[in-house]
Chains A and B, each alone.
Chain A
């Protein structure tokens, strides 16, 4: 059953200079397209993972799904209703466990706020116990906790208003590796107990592989491939996905020569014509520089590539 439907989602940011400077310098308005025509479906009780380099628009999509940002075009629909403002049934877990908890508030008040602000009854102690902390911790302040504990507090807060979907924006990238697994397993347990759906945003392929039911690969604000983990990691249909997988260090590959990725992510203010990946793509042909490929079914998943059938993994081939 689909919970959230994202359709043609586009978000542009105005990055022009202040108008006075612009008028004096006779510069045109400039805008940055952070997310460009992304469509996807988040199933109830499943985990949809978005992966991509920094600047690929992962977080922007997350914030639009959560209702914190308005899309420039397209919409996010939950139960057929467009999301225009934050909702009780969509909550978020943030990347930085230090900045995401108000240092002047007691943990109990932080955790209870999404429920209390909407007039719902909530027991902060019980929420804290659900994420593996103690009820007495409600009396403490955030600075008294470690990074992993703080992230649990963030998870408890996200649970407080009984959400159906939690947007987890890089929930583990600020944590020690030893603590990452704890937080991820907590999320998995909660999903099994309560059937919460996650939109997991990460750049870490290991995390994604461990957590995701469906993976969406983003490049320069465009969804370039979408598939289940098994398909995506074994038979990537987009050259960018293949490059990501090849570039990730592997345990069995000591001493293996890995060709480093060529080039960098292009300027989102002036993206290249055609396929956004064409300047770095080893398979690029003229068509790729002229025409933006649509996301079309390739095998069991979907990919946006003119040469999807010819993509090979270095490690496999």
Chain B
């Protein structure tokens, strides 16, 4: 019980409420984190990967998309071995055009993470808004929103994404396609992902809106939108945090899948999925590193984020303690 220490304080003592930092350090969540080796490792790996992607221009040995820095003679250099012609060494080897695989991974991860974060953000905004409205309004509005969600769920998310991709391809002129590809990806993945946010938020909203603090807000003279966003939203967010983390891992995988299938990030802006697709061409001719390292990075990224999400779900669920 967190309120126990407060009762020991004599009533007239001028007590300062604990600072934000102290509250965080003493919180259950921090304790659960400290005592879970899996969570610590997952957090460390995902933070390392995310930071190295964000700071790729400073971390990467070369910019793989700057033609001036490329030398075709460096093509197909195996990892940690000097090139036969130029003598240059690459930590993870090079691909067919002499780009260092390590550098392309760092830059590719930027695209993957950007698409992942943006897609989850888009799904969250859409799902939370629709979920709040459905849970608050009830009746016909609720029925319509949730039936649309049900129908959405009957399509596999990859199919939805490909459908949107196909439509976008028809609508967007050819010269803009590569620029738009990333945004189409974000919308496609986000649209196939909003349902779970909407469901969770709707359920939580229905529970919260029957509580007396909502009646109190109405008595205070607040109306629907203000009650929804100022009172109910902060109280339905903790399950959303869990879903968002797990969704991030799924969105990164979905992006890789679409890019692998050739309907995602273009070769000029390759994501991890695009790199895997390119690398696949060389797997059977012995240049395994072009496929292996992007694939291993994708695995580590998705796994660590997913483990973090799983841990968060357990840590926030009081029934599992």
Binding site for B on A (CB under 8 A): 63, 66-68, 86, 88, 90-92, 94-96, 99-105, 113-114, 117-118, 134, 136, 139-140, 143-146, 154, 157, 161
Q: In the complex the two chains form, what is the Cα distance from A100 to B214 in whole Å?
A: 8
Q: Are A140 and B216 in contact (CB under 8 A)?
A: no
Residue of B nearest to A97 (CB): B212
User: Which chain A residues border B219 with CB–CB below 8 Å?
Assistant: 66-68, 86, 90-92, 114
**Are B220 and A161 in contact, with the CB atoms below 8 A?**
yes
Q: Are B212 and A96 in contact, with the CB atoms below 8 A?
A: yes
Do B3 and A117 touch across chains, with their CB atoms under 8 A apart?
no
Contact A101 B221 (CB under 8 A): no
Query: Contact: A113 with B234, CB < 8 Å?
Result: no
The answer for the CA separation of A63 and B210 in the assembled complex, in Å, is: 13
Q: Report how far A91 CA is from B212 CA in the complex, Å.
A: 13
From B222, which residue of chain A is reached at the shortest CB distance?
A117
Kindly state the separation between the CA atoms of A136 and B231 in the bound complex, as whole angstroms.
23
User: Is B11 an interface residue, CB under 8 A from the partner?
Assistant: yes
Return the contact of A94 from the options B12, B14, B216 (Cβ within 8 A): B216
Distance (whole angstroms) from the CB of A43 to the closest CB of chain B: 22
Interface: B34 (CB within 8 A): no
Measured CB to CB, the closest approach of chain B to A14, in angstroms, equals 11
Measured between C-beta atoms, what is the minimum distance from A96 to chain B in Å?
Answer: 6
Report the separation of the CA atoms of residues A161 and B217 in the bound assembly, to the nearest whole angstrom: 12
CB atoms of A102 and B231 under 8 A apart: yes
CB distance from B1 to the nearest CB of A (A): 9
Q: Judging by beta carbons under 8 Å apart, are A114 and B221 in contact? A: yes
Distance, CA A92 to CA B12, complexed state (A): 29
Given known pairs A114-B219, A140-B17, the reply for A101 and B213 (CB within 8 Å) is: yes
How far does the alpha carbon of A136 sit from the alpha carbon of B212 in the complex, in Å?
25
Residues of B within 8 Å of A144, CB to CB, are 2-3, 6, 17
Tell me if A146 and B221 are in contact (CB < 8 A).
no
Which 9 residue pairs across A and B have the least CB separation, nearest first? A100-B212, A114-B220, A104-B234, A94-B212, A102-B213, A99-B211, A117-B221, A113-B220, A117-B220
A134–B216 Cα distance when bound, in Å, is 22
Q: Which of B2, B212, B217, B235 has the most CB of A within 10 A?
A: B212
Asked whether B320 is an interface residue with its Cβ less than 8 Å from the other chain, the reply is: no
Choice from A95, A105, A134, A145 contacting B212 with Cβ under 8 Å = A95
In the complex, whether B15 has a CB less than 8 A from a CB of chain A is yes
Cβ of B6: which chain A residues have Cβ within 8 Å of it? Answer: 140, 144-145
- How far does the alpha carbon of A136 sit from the alpha carbon of B15 in the complex, in Å? 8
- Which chain A residue shows the least CB distance to B231? A102
Chain B residues within an 8 Å CB radius of A100: 211-213, 215-216
A102-B231, A114-B220, A139-B17 are contacts. A134–B215 as well, Cβ < 8 Å? no
Residues in A with CB closer than 8 Å to B212 are: 94-96, 99-100
13 contacts between A and B (CB under 8 A): A86-B219, A86-B221, A88-B221, A92-B216, A100-B213, A100-B216, A102-B234, A103-B235, A114-B220, A117-B220, A118-B221, A134-B12, A145-B3
